[in-house]
Structure 1
Amino acid sequence: MWNRPRFDLKVRLTLRVAAISAACFAAISAYFLITADRAAHARIDDIAAIVAKTLELQQGKVLWTASPRADFPNLDPVSAYVMTPGLCLAFRGPAGEMIQRFCSGAPVTADLPPQIFTAFYHGLFDPGREAARPVILRGTKLGEAVVSVDPAVQTAEAWHEAGRLMLALAIALPLLCVLVYAALARALRPTHMIRAGLERIAANDLTARLPPFDLAELSAVRDVFNHLAESLDTALAERAELTRKLIALQDEERRHLARELHDEFGQSLAAIRALASSARQTAAQECPSLLGECDGIARTASGMMETLRGALFRLRPPDVEELGLVASLEGLVAGWNGRSRGETRFAIRFDGTFETLPATISANLYRIVQEALTNAAKHAGATKVNLELAMHADEIALAIDDDGRSTDPVAKSGMGLLGMRERVAALRGRLSFEAGLQGGSALRVVIPLTAAGPQALEHAA
């Protein structure tokens, strides 16, 4: 299945905040540039109006004094008041010819705008646009007053102002990201506790609970988590109780079936053997040719008796409560070693004392080992099986390793593995079945001592 790449939530949210902040700064910068461009054009429009009015007054003065020396147009008087770096004043005649032009030089600066900003600014605005105002006297248009600003100067001024915003952005944005990341890390710190709680739930520790959180959203998650843990604990307790009842019913049915087989089938086989022995005595006196058939009937009855004893042993094992778990398991292993006739070797080792375990725990452990040995010998074809049962400070551990065929557990053991899982689940334990490191299979069962009752806990302590 395709897995999507994972990103840290704090990093993702911080990047989103940074992107939004950068977009806001860009919008503010664009608004500032637009406002500055409009102000610059409004300024040269006002200057053009002043120049046109000044020229009109000059021409009126010439006509009023009837001076033979027509000092028109004269841009020097107005330039002393309105000239700024890069500003150009001009008078254009009625035919469009430039009669007079006066420009101030651009300041020499080392802080030139980058080419990319210059291209962007020239593409977005028109820094070299002229502002023209007509010069009219007595209804006659004498020409136009033309005012413009050097595009390089206007671009440099815009870059100077935008550079301050970019400097503020360069300082504020990383600081904002650090503060947002720190705030998110603090706000999301409880998620580590939520993850730890989920891991405990996954490990079948249903006592995991989450403490109250400051954030309302995480508090809602905490309430749902605790409710889920309580519900799972209750459901598993009910399931375990039902499983115990089903297992007890199954064991009772096995004991009943064992009694029926022993009382009915066993007596019938004993009667057949007795009749075969009697028929053999009669045949030996009257019809020796029937001795072979009588012996065959006796052998068949003996074989069926042996098979019946094995079935009865599996259906109704020795009383674990009376013999003890250790003695019962040693007898089980000895029986398998005896029936294997050298084909399979079983070995068992104990670590700890198990005399104080309740009968329910001992019986379930015996059944689990019995089913595991049957799987290893009959289904996996193992030639060597090692068992180890150990009692630790807070749990009972069972390990069974064999050198048989390492196949699918369900296909190998059928309903047997399911039965073992149900017994382990009823004891609130854990079961794992997997391939061994050097071939074969490895069965691991861990049962907490809390399932074994207070006696076992006191003994272990």
Structure 2
Amino acid sequence: WYWIPFLIIAPGLGALLLWFYRRQQQGQQARTRQLREELLRDLHDEMGSKLAVVNMYGALLQDQLSPGDLEKTGPILNKLLGASTDLYQSMQDLQWMLDPEKDQLRHLLYELKAFGQELLSPTGAVFQETIELSPDLLGQKLPIHYKKNVLFLFKEAIHNTAKHAGATEAGLQVWSTVDHIHICWWDKGGAKPPLAIQGNGYGLKSMQARAEKIGAALKFGHDSGGTQVRLRWPVGILLREEKSVS
């Protein structure tokens, strides 16, 4: 008979423990979101303003140098301005990754599209985009490490197309099968594969490492028509991660 009270109390105790666990999870998510928003504001207020000042004074100095001085110091000044611009872009990427309002898969794909258009515009290559995903998949939330690794993986691919491929066309293609999401960056018209897929260089290893960190498979392809960088991402992983950040 002594176990009868336990049978009566156990369901209520289990429900109470589950309630406490869920409240703890919600509190942790709220604290994480608040921290991300604070870091986002700090980055914008501190780093953004300081980098803007560096660029402004660098440009003013460049304008005020005489032709003789510019010939001597121009290359150094250009490197300084270039490094400042790169640092500013890195800060923008970090801000985007921290922004809790841009955690959905659709935001990641939009960022890749915008970067591709920006880098290809000076080359004259035609940019194309094909996204065939359901609204549910497009609305899935991604943890920061997913956003970071996919963003930087394809930024590397896009950068190599713009800098090395000599392509006439390039684009982003995204679709889903039963168990996977597929993201492909491709280019056409290049005379040779971009450096990222030649041999076992740092670019290739870095991209493969990023794919492994999110449980995805990465493949490279090149033929006379151009180059493809294909990421195959298990939908199950994406759905599990979405529950952990929602």
Verify same fold: TM over 0.5. yes
In 2, are the aligned partners of 1:400 and 1:443 still within 8 Å (CA)? Answer: yes
Instruction: Tell me by how many angstroms 1:397 deviates.
Output: 0.4
Find 1:444's aligned residue among 219, 222, 230: 230
Q: 2:85: which partner in 1?
A: 309
Instruction: Tell me by how many angstroms 1:401 deviates.
Output: 2.0
Instruction: For residues 198-238 of structure 1, give each alpha carbon's deviation from its aligned partner in whole angstroms, at most 9, with x where no partner exists.
Output: xxxxxxxxxxxxxxxxxxxxxxxxxxxxxxxxxxxxxxxxx
Aligned residues: 185
In 2, are the aligned partners of 1:356 and 1:455 still within 8 Å (CA)? Answer: no
In 1, are the aligned partners of 2:51 and 2:88 still within 8 Å (CA)? Answer: no
Write the letter of the residue equivalent to 2:84: L
Higher RCO structure (Cα 8 Å, ≥6 apart) = 2
Instruction: For residues 4-40 of structure 1, give each alpha carbon's deviation from its aligned partner in whole angstroms, at most 9, with x where no partner exists.
Output: xxxxxxxxxxxxxxxxxxxxxxxxxxxxxxxxxxxxx
CA distance in 1: counterparts of 2:228 and 2:62, whole angstroms: 48
CA distance in 1: counterparts of 2:174 and 2:213, whole angstroms: 19
CA distance in 1: counterparts of 2:203 and 2:141, whole angstroms: 24
Note if 1:420 corresponds to 2:207. Answer: yes
CA distance in 2: counterparts of 1:406 and 1:328, whole angstroms: 24
Write the letter of the residue equivalent to 2:159: T
In 2, are the aligned partners of 1:399 and 1:443 still within 8 Å (CA)? Answer: yes
Structure 2: runs of 5+ lacking an equivalent:
1-42
CA distance in 1: counterparts of 2:49 and 2:200, whole angstroms: 31
CA distance in 2: counterparts of 1:430 and 1:378, whole angstroms: 25
Instruction: For residues 314-347 of structure 1, give each alpha carbon's deviation from its aligned partner in whole angstroms, at most 9, with x where no partner exists.
Output: 5752504544213312221221133x242x3332
CA distance in 2: counterparts of 1:346 and 1:305, whole angstroms: 28
Is the alpha carbon distance of 1:393 and 1:272 closer, same or farther for their aligned partners in structure 2, counting shifts above 3 Å? same
Question: Which one has the bigger helix percentage?
Answer: 2
TM-score of the two chains, using structure 1 as the length reference: 0.34
Is the alpha carbon distance of 1:429 and 1:307 closer, same or farther for their aligned partners in structure 2, counting shifts above 3 Å? same
Q: Percent same amino acid among aligned pairs?
A: 18
Is the alpha carbon distance of 1:341 and 1:382 closer, same or farther for their aligned partners in structure 2, counting shifts above 3 Å? closer
Is the alpha carbon distance of 1:430 and 1:273 closer, same or farther for their aligned partners in structure 2, counting shifts above 3 Å? closer
Instruction: Tell me by how many angstroms 1:410 deviates.
Output: 4.6
Is the alpha carbon distance of 1:341 and 1:308 closer, same or farther for their aligned partners in structure 2, counting shifts above 3 Å? farther
Note if 1:357 corresponds to 2:141. Answer: yes
Q: CA RMSD in A?
A: 3.9
In 2, are the aligned partners of 1:333 and 1:347 still within 8 Å (CA)? Answer: no
Q: In terms of Rg, which structure is larger?
A: 1
CA distance in 2: counterparts of 1:310 and 1:345, whole angstroms: 25
In 1, are the aligned partners of 2:179 and 2:235 still within 8 Å (CA)? Answer: yes
In 1, are the aligned partners of 2:127 and 2:170 still within 8 Å (CA)? Answer: yes
Note if 1:369 corresponds to 2:154. Answer: yes
